[in-house]
Amino acid sequence: MGSFKYIHANEMAMYKNDIRKKEILQDVRKQPIMTRVDKPTKITRAKSVGYKAKQGYVVVRVRVGKGDFRRPRPNHARRPSKSGIYYKLAVSKEQIARNRVSKVFKNMKVVGSYFLIEDGKSKWFEVILVDKTKI
C-alpha cells in the first residue's frame, strides 16, 4: 500500500473519534467566516481535488449556513396559497462556498473544494485556490 492510503486511514480514524471531532469544531467555530489556512486539514482529500504544496496554492476555510431557502410570509390580510413554502436551492452548499471565496480572492482561480465538518447550524468547506499567474 502507498503512503497516502495510510494517511487517509489515519485521517478517517481521527474524524470518527468524537473527542477529536469536538476539538476541531471548537477551533473552527472561533474563526471568522472565511479564513486562510496554512495547509489543508484533510491532506489526502485536498491532493485528490488538486492541491499541490507549492508557491501559489492557497487553502481557505469557509463557513456556510445550513438549511433551505424559505420565502417570507406576507403579514397582511391576504394569504396566498404558496406562502411559507420551503424551496430547495439549485446550487449546493459547496458551490455557494466556492462562489463566496472567488468573490473575495479575485486574483485567484478555484481549483476545487471539499467538505470539512458540520454542526447543527453550519457546514465548513475548504476551498483550494491557485494564483492565475502561476498556471
**What is the rounded distance in angstroms from the CA atom of residue 114 to the CA atom of residue 85?**
30
SS3 65: strand
Lowest model confidence (mean pLDDT) among 48-52, 68-72, 81-85, 91-95: 81-85
pLDDT digits (tens, 9 = 90+) for 67-83: 877 766 666 666 666 66
**How would DSSP label each residue in 64-118?**
EE-S-EEPPPP-SS---TTTT-EE--SS-HHHHHHHHHHHH-TTEEEEEEEEEEE
User: How much is the pLDDT for 3?
Assistant: 81
* Residue ranges per structural domain of the chain: 3-69+83-131
Mean pLDDT of 100-113: 95
pLDDT band per the 50, 70, 90 thresholds, residue 40? very high
pLDDT band per the 50, 70, 90 thresholds, residue 42? confident
Whether CATH 3.40.50.880 fits 3-69+83-131? no
